[in-house]
Amino acid sequence: QHQITLAKRPEGLPGQEHFSFEKTDVPSPQKGEVLIQSIYISVDPYMRGRMEDTKSYVEPFQVGRVIDGGVVGKVVESESDKFSKGDYVIGHLGWKEYSTARESIIRKVDKNLAPLSAYLGVLGMPGLTAYFGMTDIGQPEDGETVVISGAAGAVGMIAGQIAKVHGAKVIGIAGSDEKVSLLKEDAGFDEAINYKTTSDIHTALREACPNGVDVYFDNVGGEISDAVYPLLNDFARIPQCGAISSYNKGGDDVGPRIQTYMIKARVRLQGFIVSDYADRFDEGAKQLGMWLQEGKLTYKETINEGFDKIPDAFLGLFSGENTGKQLIKVAEE
Ligand code: NDP
């Protein structure tokens, strides 16, 4: 079986050279463990942070050790009373074709309730991030204007649709014309802006938001956010979800000072980590599942095939190659 380790720590933009492919024996499960064949492996922007040796809310990856993240797979051998061969499970596992896992760190997923891949996207970590960030911090109200950056990604696309459910007008910012039309035509956004081809994002946003901005769900930070701040209305809320534009910069990103806008408009900016809401994950997943069933929510995935495509798919997150949730399918269901 194959596995991928961190070859060295990147400075700036990572590349293939930071990953190493290895071949090892398929492990055998011990008592209380199962052997899982990976089917879908998730790559996520937060993993860029884990490639650095800095203190953060998740442990850094270790050089020479297998990289880990969200995986959906199938139990192929069981030494556990709780799981049987053939069960589909999700867990935080290695970038490996086969993993052993203690029964306490995995849970079953039901292929009949939702496609397996959805448990890593709309019904999993990104969907829950959108749900809690938007409902708990953003709190959009009927008729308010909500702007989402990174809008055509796994989190952004769901966050915008949740704001629509609450009756808001929703404007997305994304990096291609295809993403812009997807947001407007499939995801029900009222307006969308291609930040790569729009010469003046601030003016484009001002035109799209004649009543100002009440909620800014920020996935990207940087210059895009600089263009949004002057449009914030009194008592606007900013769920600070991500800042992907700075992840590969190395050191602190520097921009214009925004405090005056924040004071004048009495803005509330709150950073959050989805795991802050761990005790409410069931509630979030249930609500997202209901909206899916009711047709109020649609989602997109970019699924690359083949274990060897994992690093490419990860790197593609930083050039916008994915639309919706980026996954790699490494085995048949
Ligand atoms: P996405 O599916 O949105 O993938 C990343 C996208 O970011 C790309 O497709 C690209 O789209 C955009 N992007 C990449 N580089 C830049 C850049 N320099 N400037 C602007 N946009 C860029 O990923 P996720 O939905 O999984 O995550 C979105 C954000 O949310 C990330 O910042 C992530 O770190 C954060 N996050 C935070 C969590 C939390 O608990 N706080 C949990 C999960 C995610 P485009 O073509 O539009 O440029």
DSSP track, 34-76: EEEEEEEEE--THHHHHTS-S--SSPPP-BTSB-EEEEEEEEE
Nearest ligand 1 atom, CA 45: 34
User: What pLDDT shows up at residue 123?
Assistant: 97
Average pLDDT value over all residues in the chain:
97
Could you tell me the distance, in angstroms and rounded to a whole number, from the CA of residue 147 to the centre of ligand 1? 15
- The token duo for 238 is 């900013």
> Is residue 35 within 8 Å of residue 87, measured between CB atoms?
no
pLDDT tens digit string along 298-332? Answer: 999 999 999 999 999 999 999 999 999 999 999 99
Helix, strand, coil share (%) of the chain residues, nearest 5? 35, 30, 40
Average pLDDT of the residues in 225-236? 97
Q: How confident is the model at residue 86 (pLDDT cuts 50, 70, 90)?
A: very high
Region 231-240: what's the mean pLDDT? 98
Buried b or exposed e, range 293-314, using 16+ CB within 10 angstroms: eeeebbbbbbebeebebbbebb
Q: Where in the chain is CATH 3.90.180.10?
A: 2-121+300-329
Which pLDDT value is given to residue 268? 97
For the domain covering 125-276, report its CATH number.
Answer: 3.40.50.720
Higher pLDDT, residue 77 or 252: 77
Q: Say what the ipTM of the complex is.
A: 0.99
Residue 251 above 90 pLDDT?
no
Share of the chain above pLDDT 70, in %: 100
Average pLDDT rounded to a whole number, residues 252-276: 93
What's the average model confidence in pLDDT over 54-80? Answer: 94
Task: Output the pLDDT for position 214.
Answer: 98
Q: What is the mean pLDDT of residues 16-41?
A: 97
For residue 57, the model assigns a pLDDT of 81
Mean pLDDT of 89-96: 98
Q: What are phi and psi of 323, to 5 degrees?
A: -120, 130
CATH 3.40.50.720 intervals, the chain: 125-276
pLDDT confidence of 105, banded at 50, 70, 90?
very high
Q: How far is the CA of 14 from the centre of ligand 1 (A)?
A: 16
**CA proximity to 325, closest of 119, 185, 137:** 119
| CA contacts within 13 A on the Cβ side of 231 | 25
Q: Tell the burial category of 242 from Cβ atoms under 10 Å away from its Cβ (0-12, 13-18, 19+).
A: buried
CATH topology of domain 2-121+300-329: Quinone Oxidoreductase; Chain A, domain 1 (3.90.180)
pLDDT of residue 155: 98
What average pLDDT does range 24-47 have in this prediction?
Answer: 97
pLDDT tens sequence across 151-190: 999 999 999 999 999 999 999 999 999 999 999 999 999 9
Pocket of ligand 1 (CB under 6 A): 44-46, 126, 129, 150, 152-156, 174-176, 179, 219-220, 224, 241-242, 244-245, 272-274, 317-318, 320, 322, 326
The encoded tokens of residue 320 equal 């916008």
Model pLDDT, residue 250: 81
pLDDT of residue 210: 98
- Tell how far the Cα of 165 is from the centroid of ligand 1, in angstroms: 22
pLDDT classification of 258: cutoffs 50, 70, 90: confident
